[in-house]
Chains A and B, each alone.
Chain A
Amino acid sequence: MGKQAASEELASIPALLARNARKFGAKTAYREKEFGIWQSWTWLEASEEIRAIALGLLTLGIERGDHVAIIGRNRPALYWSMVAAQMVGAVPVPLYQDAVAEEMAYVLDHCGARFVFCEDQEQVDKVIEIQEKVHHIEHVIYVEPRGLRKYDHSHLHWIRDVQAEGRAAQQRFGAELAARTDELGYDDTCVMLYTSGTTGRPKGVVLSNRNIIESSKNSAEFDKLTADEEVLAYLPMAWVGDFIFSIGQAYWCGFCVNCPESADTVMVDLREIGPTYYFAPPRVFETQLTGVMIRMEDASRVKKWLFDTFMQHARKVGPQILDGKPVGLWDRFKYWLGDIVIYGPLKNMLGLSRVRVGYTAGEAIGPEIFDFYRSLGINLKQLYGQTEASVFITLQPDGEVRSDTVGVPGPGVEIRIAENGEVFYRSPGVFVEYYRNPESTASTKDAEGWVATGDAGFIEEGTGHLRIIDRAKDVGKMADGRMFAPKYVENKLKFFPNILEAVVFGSGREFCTAFINIDLTAVGNWAERNNIAYASYQELAAHPKVYEMIQGHVEEVNRSIAQDEMLSGCQIHRFLILHKELDADDGEMTRTRKVRRRIVEEKYADLIGALYDGSKEIYTETEVTYEDGRKGKISATLEIRDAAVVGEGKVAAQ
Chain B
Amino acid sequence: MMDQGVEGYVTEDGRQIGGVLMALQNITLRFGGVVALRDISFDIREGEIRAIIGPNGAGKTSMLNVINGFYHPQEGQITFGGKTRSRMRPYEAAKQGISRTFQNVALFTGMTTLDNIMAGRTLKMHRNFFWQMLRHGPALEEEIEHRRKVEEIIDFLEIEHIRRTPVGQLPYGLQKRVELGRALAAEPSLLLLDEPMAGMNVEEKEDMSRFILDVNDQLGTTIALIEHDMGVVMDLADRVVVLDYGKKIADGLPSEVQNDQAVIDAYLGVPH
Contacts and interface: CB of A to CB of B under 8 A. Distances in A.
Contacts of A150: 217
B163 A147 contact: no
B160 A262 contact: yes
A628 B201 CA distance: 14
A470 B28 CA distance: 77
A561 B68 CA distance: 71
Nearest to A33: B160
A264 B217 contact: no
A628 B204 CA distance: 13
Given A34-B155, A35-B152, A35-B155, A149 B217 contact: yes
B217 A265 contact: no
B92 to A, nearest CB: 32
The prevalent SS among residues of A at the interface is loop
B31 to A, nearest CB: 41
B154 interface: yes
A264 B165 CA distance: 13
Contacts of A34: 155
Nearest to A145: B218
Interface string B151-165: 110111010110110
B148 interface: yes
B23 to A, nearest CB: 28
B160 A146 contact: no
Given A35-B155, A36-B151, A149 B160 contact: no
The prevalent SS among residues of B at the interface is helix
A212 to B, nearest CB: 32
Which of under 10, 10 to 19, 20 to 34, or 35 or more describes the interface residues of A? 10 to 19
B210 A268 contact: no
Nearest to B151: A35
A345 B191 CA distance: 45
A149 B219 CA distance: 12
Given A261-B160, A268-B161, A146 B218 contact: yes
B241 to A, nearest CB: 25
Nearest to A150: B217
A262 B157 CA distance: 12
A261 B160 CA distance: 7
Given A146-B156, A262-B158, A36 B163 contact: yes
A36 B214 contact: no
B161 A262 contact: yes
Contacts of B160: 36, 261-262, 264-265
Given A36-B163, A262-B158, A268-B161, A146 B148 contact: no
Contacts of A36: 147, 151, 154, 160, 163
A-B residue pairs, 10 tightest by C-beta: A264-B161, A35-B151, A36-B151, A265-B161, A261-B160, A262-B160, A265-B160, A147-B214, A35-B155, A146-B214
9 contacts: A35-B151, A35-B155, A36-B160, A37-B151, A146-B218, A147-B210, A149-B218, A262-B160, A268-B164
Interface of A: 34-37, 146-147, 149-150, 261-262, 264-265, 268, 627-628
Interface of B: 147-148, 151-152, 154-156, 158, 160-161, 163-164, 203, 210, 213-214, 217-218
Given A37-B151, A147-B218, A264-B161, 15 more contacts: A34-B155, A35-B148, A35-B152, A36-B154, A146-B214, A146-B218, A147-B210, A147-B213, A147-B214, A149-B217, A261-B160, A262-B158, A268-B161, A268-B164, A627-B203
